[in-house]
Amino acid sequence: MKITDLKCALIGNYPVVRITTDEGIDGYGQAEWFKPFLKPHVLFYRDMILGEDPTNVERVMMRIRRMASFKPWGAAVSAIEVALWDIAGKAAGLPIYKLLGGKVRDKVRVYNGGVRFPMNGYDPEHFAENVAKMKEAKEGFSLIKQAIAFHSPTPSHVDNYFYGEVQPGGRHPNRGLMTEKGFKHTLRCIEAMKEILGDEVGLALDCGPGFVIPDALRLAKAVEGMNIAWLEDLLTGDYTPYVMADQYREVTRQTSTPIHTGEQIYLRQNFRELIETNAVNIIGPDPLDIGGIAELKWVSEYADLHGILMAPHGTADGLIGLAALVQVSATLGQNYIAFEYPTATPEWWYDIVEGLPNPIVKDSFIEVWDRPGLGITLNSKEAQKYLREEDKDFFRA
């Protein structure tokens, strides 16, 4: 079998990858919906993989893996890797999890990162109101993650929140020492959410990046009695092209509150120091950023050897990304907690992807399906309606 083409189309803002072969088997991958700029990055790799056997996944990946970087740029390589595994599974007539060593679990736990409701403000009562809605969501989540502090718009809505000028723009640009007012406000918001969730639903907190070490440690110690599932990306993380494992270790070693990072990290080599120095308690790589399905599994196993837990990221990965998360999470060891459940936007994505269970999530779990490859199918006739003019040949052989 040989690769005959690598295509990329923007479908509802998601960069969707399609790899075609001379045997008529194709495979799909996807990047997050807020990365439409990645299309030319995906196509950059086309000439490097044409003519290769897609079922030799690692051999193909060795041609392109070194030519990417931290989030968002590793997403192009990651989407290609997922598409290769989709082909390999289809060619073998097996689900991807079988090619990765088989299932550890028949159903995978998910946590809520993608089922969201608009915030009406950033005071404690607003956070309480918001998690109450998530608690009642039909998916029955056993664990909810909420953005607070520098990962939320709070610095722009609470005067004198930290000792620094509020920076405009997205991608979490603010960083600095919190004022006493800002710190107490953050703590009250957490307490308000815990009051709603109690011990029925776990609470994880997406905190940064933006914290400095003293505040990170102060917050971690302040919530030690609340059984917070984890504090995520306190120091570095989302859209930060470095790790700073030594700084994370300073916090982790002095608190019993679990510390988490990893969604932005590309490749196993960039997790090495974080894992080997036990700089965090939990890592959360995203299969669509770390370099793909196999890369995530390797890192998870290496983390387990060091007593580190695994909660994969995935909030904006879409339905192809969801399928990838289900396949790989079924194979992960007992250090697995849950993966971040992605939803699809716009809603018509649920009409063009076939093969997902209905409902997808029951009581915070997804049943692992057994169809070949990713186990889902894009309805090309329906999807064609949503293609941009320049992508009209996406589903052609």
Kindly tell me if the per-residue pLDDT of 397 is higher than 90.
Answer: no
Residues 344 and 292 in one domain: yes
Residues 152/116, Cβ–Cβ less than 8 Å: no
> Which domain covers residue 17, as residue numbers?
3-94+378-389
Residues 120 and 178 in one domain: yes
| 227: number of Cβ within 10 Å | 13
* Rounded Cα gap, residues 266 and 285, in angstroms: 8
* Rounded Cα gap, residues 3 and 356, in angstroms: 27
* Rounded Cα gap, residues 25 and 352, in angstroms: 19
Range with the poorest average pLDDT among 114-118, 165-169, 202-206, 235-239: 165-169
Residues 63 and 90 in one domain: yes
Residues 158 and 185 in one domain: yes
pLDDT band at 381 (very low <50, low <70, confident <90, very high): very high
Bin 297: left if φ > 0, else alpha if -120 < ψ < 50, else beta: alpha
Please report the pLDDT score of residue 87 as a whole number: 99
* Rounded Cα gap, residues 233 and 236, in angstroms: 5
pLDDT digits (tens, 9 = 90+) for 303-347: 999 999 999 999 999 999 999 999 999 999 999 999 999 999 999
Residues 309/282, Cβ–Cβ less than 8 Å: yes
Instruction: Find tokens 């807020």 and name the residue.
Output: 34
Residues 166 and 89 in one domain: no
* Helix residue ranges per DSSP H, the chain: 39-44, 46-49, 57-64, 74-92, 96-99, 124-135, 154-157, 180-197, 213-222, 245-252, 272-276, 293-305, 318-329, 349-352, 380-383
Instruction: Find tokens 């909810």 and name the residue.
Output: 144
Residues 338 and 384 in one domain: no
Kindly tell me if the per-residue pLDDT of 119 is higher than 90.
Answer: yes
* Rounded Cα gap, residues 80 and 133, in angstroms: 36
User: Does the residue 396 lie in any domain?
Assistant: no
Please report the pLDDT score of residue 275 as a whole number: 98
Residues 330/103, Cβ–Cβ less than 8 Å: yes
Structure tokens at 49: 């993989």
Q: Edge-to-edge strand order for the sheet containing 14-21?
A: 3-11, 14-21, 27-30
Please report the pLDDT score of residue 168 as a whole number: 86
Residues 284 and 138 in one domain: yes
152, 89, 141: which is closest to 118 by C-alpha? 152
**Average pLDDT rounded to a whole number, residues 47-54:** 98
User: Does the residue 395 lie in any domain?
Assistant: no
**Residue type (1 letter), 312:** P
Residues 238 and 340 in one domain: yes
Structure tokens at 372: 């070949």
Structure tokens at 100: 């990765």
Residues 284/311, Cβ–Cβ less than 8 Å: yes
User: Does the residue 253 lie in any domain?
Assistant: yes
Kindly tell me if the per-residue pLDDT of 18 is higher than 90.
Answer: yes
Residue 125's domain is classified under what CATH number? 3.20.20.120
Residues 315/113, Cβ–Cβ less than 8 Å: yes
Task: Say how many domains are in the chain.
Answer: 2
Alpha-carbon torsion angle 79, 77, 115, 378, nearest 10: -10
Looking at the DSSP bridge assignments, the partners of residue 353 are: 378
Please report the pLDDT score of residue 123 as a whole number: 98
pLDDT digits (tens, 9 = 90+) for 139-196: 999 999 999 999 999 999 999 999 999 998 889 999 999 999 999 999 999 999 999 9
Looking at the DSSP bridge assignments, the partners of residue 205 are: 146, 231
183, 128, 131, 180: which is closest to 154 by C-alpha? 183
User: Does the residue 342 lie in any domain?
Assistant: yes
Residues 57 and 72 in one domain: yes
Q: 190-224 as b/e, with b when 16 or more CB fall inside 10 Å?
A: bebbbebbeeebbbbbbbbbbbbbebbbbbbebbe
* Rounded Cα gap, residues 233 and 113, in angstroms: 14
User: Does the residue 397 lie in any domain?
Assistant: no
Please report the pLDDT score of residue 1 as a whole number: 98
Q: Is 355 exposed, middle or buried (0-12, 13-18, 19+ CB in 10 A)?
A: middle
* Rounded Cα gap, residues 44 and 17, in angstroms: 12
Residue 25's domain is classified under what CATH number? 3.30.390.10
Residues 77 and 167 in one domain: no
Please report the pLDDT score of residue 359 as a whole number: 98
Please report the pLDDT score of residue 178 as a whole number: 98
Residues 177 and 60 in one domain: no
Residues 287 and 332 in one domain: yes
Please report the pLDDT score of residue 170 as a whole number: 81
Structure tokens at 380: 């090309």
**What totals of helices (H) and strands (E) does the chain contain, helices first?**
15, 14
Please report the pLDDT score of residue 169 as a whole number: 82
User: Does the residue 352 lie in any domain?
Assistant: yes
